[in-house]
């Protein structure tokens, strides 16, 4: 990668009303030297369009409302449709353990549950790019 800093887009899936976790992660990534684009609540197509426009390396999705099994894989599908499958997608939030294998099969690189140390998320993103 020729770029000095990793660029990460952070978005909350759909109309999910939570915000604290995504803000905490966004700040931690920023403090670790990454460029963070925070877009709040967005649907998959808008997330992908913004990620491509902003030339990000990673999309970080956040969910608490249970919409992750539909909307997170849709982000990955939209990336493939638009030829941007090189953008890594990660997911954080309240995700039942039984959903994680299917999410990873759909193309989600990693799933981070509540209480995941921020350093673990930073290390994963930094090591994957």
Name all domains of the chain by residue range, CATH numbers in brackets: 7-128 (3.40.50.280)
**Which of 107, 36, 24 lies closest to 72, judged by CA?**
107
Task: Please tell me the predicted confidence (pLDDT) of residue 1.
Answer: 39
User: Using CA atoms, how far apart are residues 100 and 72, in angstroms rounded to an integer?
Assistant: 11
Phi and psi angles of residue 70, each rounded to the nearest 5 degrees, phi first? -100, -50
Task: Please tell me the predicted confidence (pLDDT) of residue 32.
Answer: 96
Q: Are 125 and 6 in contact (CB under 8 A)?
A: yes
Phi and psi angles of residue 30, each rounded to the nearest 5 degrees, phi first? -60, -45
- pTM of structure: 0.92
Task: Please tell me the predicted confidence (pLDDT) of residue 4.
Answer: 62
Task: Please tell me the predicted confidence (pLDDT) of residue 128.
Answer: 58
Task: Please tell me the predicted confidence (pLDDT) of residue 67.
Answer: 85
Task: Please tell me the predicted confidence (pLDDT) of residue 17.
Answer: 61
Contacts of residue 44, defined as CB under 8 A and 6 or more positions apart, other chains included, come to: 13, 71, 74, 75, 77, 78
User: CA gyration radius for the chain?
Assistant: 13
pLDDT tens digits in sequence order for the chain, 129 residues long: 344 689 999 999 877 666 778 899 999 999 999 999 999 899 999 999 999 999 999 999 998 877 898 999 999 999 999 999 999 999 999 899 999 999 999 999 999 998 999 999 999 999 854
């Amino acid at each position: 990668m020729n770029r000095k800093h990793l660029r990460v887009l952070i978005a909350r899936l759909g109309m999910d009303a939570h915000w604290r976790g995504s803000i905490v992660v966004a700040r931690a990534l920023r403090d670790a030297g990454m460029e963070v684009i925070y877009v709040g609540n967005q649907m998959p197509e808008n997330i992908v369009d913004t990620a491509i426009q902003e030339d990000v390396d990673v999309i970080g999705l956040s969910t608490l409302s249970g919409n992750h099994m539909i909307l997170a894989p849709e982000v990955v599908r939209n990336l493939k449709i638009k030829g941007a499958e090189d953008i890594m997608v990660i997911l954080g939030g309240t995700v039942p353990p039984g959903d994680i294998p299917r999410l990873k099969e759909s193309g989600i690189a990693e799933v981070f549950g509540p209480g995941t140390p921020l350093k673990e998320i930073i290390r994963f993103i930094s090591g994957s790019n």
